[in-house]
Structure 1
Amino acid sequence: MSENIKIVIAIDIGTTSTKTLAVNQSGNILGSHSIEYPLHTPVPGYAEQDPDVIYEVVLNCVANLMKKGGFLAEDILCVSFSSANHSLILLDGSGQPLTPSITWADQRSAVQAEQLLKDGTGLSVYLRTGTPIHPMSPLVKLIWMREERPELFYAAQHFVGIKEYIVNKLFGILIMDHSIASATGLFNLRTLSWDVEAMQLAAIREEQLPRLVPTTERIEGLSRVAAEHMGLAMNTPFIIGAQDGVLANLGIGAVEEDVFAVTIGTSGAVRTTVNQPTLDPEGKLFCYALTKDQWVVGGATNNGAIVASWISDRLYAGKTIEEVLPLAAAVPPGANGLLFLPLLSGERAPFWDAHAKGVMFGLTLAHTESDMLRAAMEGVLFQITAIVSLMKDDGGKPREVRASGGFARSTIWCQMLADMLGVPVRVPESVESSGLGAAQLGLYAMEGCDGPLLRWKELNGSIYEPDVANHKIYQKLLPFYLDLYDRLKEPMREITMLQHTTDELL
């Protein structure tokens, strides 16, 4: 590489894979590499991963990126992290894991979440921390661990997430950035410190949690073994970075209050950037930190592109998802009277219901596979639209949506989103939003965090304008869709309880 070119490496630790990007100081992606890993579900409701497998993947991802791109250690300006939220790992005194990494998708603590919501404690915690009460929350996971696995809980010396585990393996320090911390349910948004009442609720001590640092924190002192494995110098600066959701906003330039970001990968989310912590009075929207003067408000759905993959596998065996999705384009809006509640993994926003189930409603002999596919895709976007409606109720109003994640590569899905929301949807040339956001944050940190957060060149890419007629159809269908969930939520809960009873009798 040229002596004048310096590169930021972004490490994006996701739910199903880790991806690394090499990004120059103008925001151009010079190379990428990704490696997948499994999500283990040994018991219904559990969703775990091996943290040491993910650590090895991080090392190999960087090493392969360096080799593929022909980059030298001296070419690297810094390395910056992005990471998925809400994971929990219990560590012993030597930093070894006592548990797998319990991911955001884990539902085992549903009873504890319900109890917190029922007695009002949950809303009180939310109004200090900005993390909705749900089994995803590390706070709720900790309460479950104390009640159901006390031998592990009381043996633990530290409680961390997957990024903190990896950073500790690389540098021998336990730190957590404000962004990841603000998704734990244990971090006070106003004081930027661990929340005393939340820690008391979890029965943990501050010294058992990582030291808090801003998202621009610079770390040096990479271990020799890790440096040699990755092809980096031991003095390469690392920037602690942030969570993938807030970085996705940054990566696609959604840093104004009237520009919403919609990301749909395995799961999905809607987010907008604000200048101060903003909370929903009912506790249905998250508020997470980006930098000291920028916060991201929004809601996440459990059921994103995984729903399309699920129905594609069952209806179109042997075909790729890229082959299948265009088939929905031949079906009119509303899927010929078919509605699908795509709640296959329980649900976070807008319902916050761990017992939620999938429902295909209105099915007749006349319906086809394409109708069911269209209904499933629309169901995912009804969830997204309902989250946008919550944000509007709290004062947000989008003039434009910027799309990222795997769904943004589908023209039919992007057009459906524009039609549902009634606003233009812009898809940047690169949908690697979280990685690009991590690279931007890394460069900003290296430049001393002076001035406004860096914004790279104006976004190009496709723009999808809403179809007025289709928007009117979806405006009529959305209230019916939401009412359908309201009518079925109690039977959804009852069938969960019935299944538990049946399992006990077997």
Structure 2
Amino acid sequence: MKYLLGIDVGTTTTKAVLYDENATIIGHFSKGYLLYRDPQGMAEQDPEEILAAVETVIQEAVSQADLEKGQLLGVSFSTANQSLLLLDKHFHPLTQVITWADTRARHVASQLKGSSVGKSIYQTTGTPIHPMSPLTKLIWLQKEHPELFQKMAYVADIKSYIFWRLFKKFKVDISVASCTGMMNIYSRKWDKDALKVAGINEDQLPEIVEPTAQETTMVEEERRKIGIPPETPFVYGAFDGALSNIGVGATTANQVAITIGTSAAVRVMTDHPVIDPEERLFCYAVDRKHWLVGGPLNNGGDIFQWATHQLVDQEVLEKERVDRYTLANRIIKDTPAGAHGLLFHPYLGGERAPIWNANARGDFFGLTVLHTRADMLRAVLEGINLNIALVFETVTSQVGKPAIVTATGGFARSVVWRQMLADVLNCQVNVPDAFESGCLGAVNLLMQSLGMVKGYQSVTNYIGRESKYQPDPEQVMIYQKILPVFRQVGELLTPAYSKIANLQDEIESLHLSD
């Protein structure tokens, strides 16, 4: 048997899926790690913990593959985008991995976004000005930690760091480079104007390579540790959003892919750059012929997890003897659509698309003495979906109405959530039975790199079964009444977001000083 291995390095977990040469799944593997947070907006990872997780899942996959009677054809990578890691001249980390979820650069981002320079950078790089971006993180680090800039020799992301540790090669694929806010999406080269604003030069950054580029000579110590056969090709792959689109076959402009995991995203792949004049969407280069247009959301499954822990009654859990999420879904199903007129904006972690405001905060609106915890729980799930609907509207306004909408991610384990998404979007939603679309997308790039297939369309042969959800007309009518109010309330609250964020910082500082 011949094996293919897809690796997905995520925000809190690294996953691996082992396939045979027909892209049939042989085994799943995963290893979690911490995301370190603090009240000031820090969201960091330990690069050594991530590297160890990558080594572990590869070890486990190699152990399951019968390499005495078969061959591991190669390994390909998906990674979370917009990570930042400063390295010294010996490529040793000077910082933790600063993730997309880190908001400490919010004041820097706010200043840059309102300037002509910020607008020009967005039009060239396709990356909205926001604290998620490595560009704004570098500006913030230069101001707040100038000592690091004096020691810094190289600027990495988690993928280029992993490949450096494994192969002593400092390279990164086009899509991950594009997500930094410092790559020109037309030339696919580092942008001199963006680098000047960031305070770095091209020599400090990894070489940009094609997503199908390979490395084959692993550092011997790492090779022995992992147990990988000599000269096994490792393919750079792409960032997780691009590979999720590829993995569900959404590779043309009339196919929208929605991912709802810890966070969420709405994405379309096009054959030309699409720059939103209102700067609401990203546009990232994937390769030399494709661009990904869409909007990422900070708030997805993590908000539902928060709500289930805060709003599900512990006594009922013990009485019913079911897990928390099963009970939550049961409660939501039995609560009427619209939650008796209660709205929830899910901005517990600031927000990227559609409002691009790191100071945004969540709220319940319309709360009365008649509302129950069940109403609040349903309003939370509806709020997550309504927020996705705002991004969906924005994306389709720029690229056209889709013929197909495919949704993946951890949300798919909830049938209630699947149906609600179709109702809120008012369109059929297809949900593949296999959840790990990012790993399948990575394996497609591996197969392209090895000459086994041509192009992205071949992945449709391996996707497998899908469940289709049709919108319920009665539910659709309710959500179409709610969506304009949901949007209006968010717009009215926008001027107060910075004030409440600053107030929270002040109060937190007072508590820390006590």
TM-score by length of 1: 0.96
Deviation at 1:322, TM superposition (A): 3.5
Partner of 1:498: 503
How many percent identity over aligned positions? Answer: 41
1:12 paired residue among 8, 11, 28: 8
* 1:359 and 2:363 correspond: yes
Q: Distance in 2 between matches of 1:174 and 1:271?
A: 29
Letter in 2 for 1:363: L
Q: Distance in 2 between matches of 1:448 and 1:429?
A: 25
Of 297-306 and 117-126, deviating more is 117-126
1:246 and 1:289 in contact (8 A); partners too: no
Partner of 2:412: 408
1:444 and 1:454 in contact (8 A); partners too: no
Letter in 2 for 1:338: L
Of 314-323 and 52-61, deviating more is 314-323
Letter in 1 for 2:341: G
Q: Say which SS state the counterpart of residue 372 (structure 1) adopts.
A: helix
2:78 and 2:442 in contact (8 A); partners too: yes
Judging changes above 3 Å, is the alpha-carbon distance between structure 1 residues 40 and 72 closer, same or farther for their aligned structure 2 residues? farther
Q: Distance in 2 between matches of 1:243 and 1:73?
A: 33
C-alpha distance after superposition, 1:251-305 (max 9, x if no partner)? 1111121211110110000011111111111111111222321221110100000
Q: Distance in 2 between matches of 1:322 and 1:177?
A: 40
Of 301-310 and 324-333, deviating more is 324-333
Judging changes above 3 Å, is the alpha-carbon distance between structure 1 residues 357 and 451 closer, same or farther for their aligned structure 2 residues? closer
Of 43-52 and 129-138, deviating more is 43-52
Partner of 1:420: 424
Deviation at 1:362, TM superposition (A): 1.4
Q: What are the within-5 Å matches in structure 2 for residues 458-497 of structure 1? A: 459-497=464-502
2:91 paired residue among 66, 87, 95: 95
Partner of 1:150: 146
Deviation at 1:454, TM superposition (A): 2.7
Judging changes above 3 Å, is the alpha-carbon distance between structure 1 residues 365 and 459 closer, same or farther for their aligned structure 2 residues? same
* 1:213 and 2:209 correspond: yes
2:447 paired residue among 443, 448, 462: 443
1:287 and 1:296 in contact (8 A); partners too: yes
Partner of 2:320: none
Partner of 1:200: 196
Deviation at 1:456, TM superposition (A): 3.5
* 1:371 and 2:375 correspond: yes
Judging changes above 3 Å, is the alpha-carbon distance between structure 1 residues 182 and 337 closer, same or farther for their aligned structure 2 residues? same
Of 305-314 and 390-399, deviating more is 390-399
Judging changes above 3 Å, is the alpha-carbon distance between structure 1 residues 71 and 267 closer, same or farther for their aligned structure 2 residues? farther
Deviation at 1:502, TM superposition (A): 3.2
Deviation at 1:15, TM superposition (A): 0.3
* 1:387 and 2:391 correspond: yes
Q: Distance in 1 between matches of 2:456 and 2:442?
A: 16
Deviation at 1:227, TM superposition (A): 1.6
Letter in 1 for 2:473: V
* 1:349 and 2:360 correspond: no
Judging changes above 3 Å, is the alpha-carbon distance between structure 1 residues 88 and 459 closer, same or farther for their aligned structure 2 residues? same
Judging changes above 3 Å, is the alpha-carbon distance between structure 1 residues 452 and 301 closer, same or farther for their aligned structure 2 residues? closer
Q: Distance in 2 between matches of 1:292 and 1:254?
A: 18
C-alpha distance after superposition, 1:112-165 (max 9, x if no partner)? 100011123222111100111100000000000111100002210000111111
Q: Distance in 1 between matches of 2:341 and 2:212?
A: 50
Q: Distance in 2 between matches of 1:479 and 1:42?
A: 34
Q: Distance in 2 between matches of 1:45 and 1:146?
A: 17
Judging changes above 3 Å, is the alpha-carbon distance between structure 1 residues 451 and 63 closer, same or farther for their aligned structure 2 residues? closer
1:294 paired residue among 290, 294, 301: 290
1:271 and 1:298 in contact (8 A); partners too: yes
Judging changes above 3 Å, is the alpha-carbon distance between structure 1 residues 72 and 289 closer, same or farther for their aligned structure 2 residues? farther
Q: Distance in 1 between matches of 2:453 and 2:237?
A: 13
Q: Distance in 2 between matches of 1:326 and 1:256?
A: 37
Q: What are the within-5 Å matches in structure 2 for residues 226-245 of structure 1? A: 226-245=222-241
Partner of 1:282: 278
Q: Distance in 2 between matches of 1:448 and 1:71?
A: 20
Partner of 1:121: 117
C-alpha distance after superposition, 1:334-375 (max 9, x if no partner)? 111110001000000000000000101112222222211111
Deviation at 1:501, TM superposition (A): 3.0
1:101 and 1:162 in contact (8 A); partners too: yes
Letter in 2 for 1:420: V
Q: Distance in 1 between matches of 2:67 and 2:483?
A: 50
Letter in 1 for 2:472: D
2:360 and 2:501 in contact (8 A); partners too: no
Partner of 1:45: 41
TM-score by length of 2: 0.95
Letter in 1 for 2:11: T
1:289 and 1:296 in contact (8 A); partners too: yes
Judging changes above 3 Å, is the alpha-carbon distance between structure 1 residues 164 and 322 closer, same or farther for their aligned structure 2 residues? farther
Q: Say which SS state the counterpart of residue 455 (structure 1) adopts.
A: helix
Aligned-residue CA RMSD in angstroms?
A: 1.6
2:55 and 2:226 in contact (8 A); partners too: yes
Deviation at 1:72, TM superposition (A): 5.1
Q: Distance in 2 between matches of 1:344 and 1:246?
A: 26
C-alpha distance after superposition, 1:296-331 (max 9, x if no partner)? 111010000001000101122464324322320111
C-alpha distance after superposition, 1:68-90 (max 9, x if no partner)? 44455952101000000000000
State the 4+ residue runs in structure 1 displaced beyond 6 angstroms: none
2:251 and 2:457 in contact (8 A); partners too: no
Q: Distance in 2 between matches of 1:475 and 1:126?
A: 32
2:343 paired residue among 314, 339, 345: 339
Letter in 2 for 1:325: N
Deviation at 1:434, TM superposition (A): 0.5
Q: Which sections of structure 2, spanning at least 5 residues, go unmatched?
A: 318-322
Q: Distance in 2 between matches of 1:449 and 1:125?
A: 36
Q: Say which SS state the counterpart of residue 445 (structure 2) adopts.
A: helix
Q: Distance in 1 between matches of 2:464 and 2:294?
A: 22
Q: Distance in 2 between matches of 1:126 and 1:156?
A: 26
Q: Distance in 2 between matches of 1:320 and 1:227?
A: 42
Q: Say which SS state the counterpart of residue 454 (structure 1) adopts.
A: helix
Q: Say which SS state the counterpart of residue 336 (structure 1) adopts.
A: helix
Partner of 1:323: 327
2:271 and 2:290 in contact (8 A); partners too: yes
Judging changes above 3 Å, is the alpha-carbon distance between structure 1 residues 448 and 461 closer, same or farther for their aligned structure 2 residues? closer
Q: Which sections of structure 1, spanning at least 5 residues, go unmatched?
A: none
Of 325-334 and 70-79, deviating more is 70-79
Partner of 1:159: 155
Q: Distance in 1 between matches of 2:127 and 2:272?
A: 15
1:73 and 1:232 in contact (8 A); partners too: no
2:351 and 2:360 in contact (8 A); partners too: yes
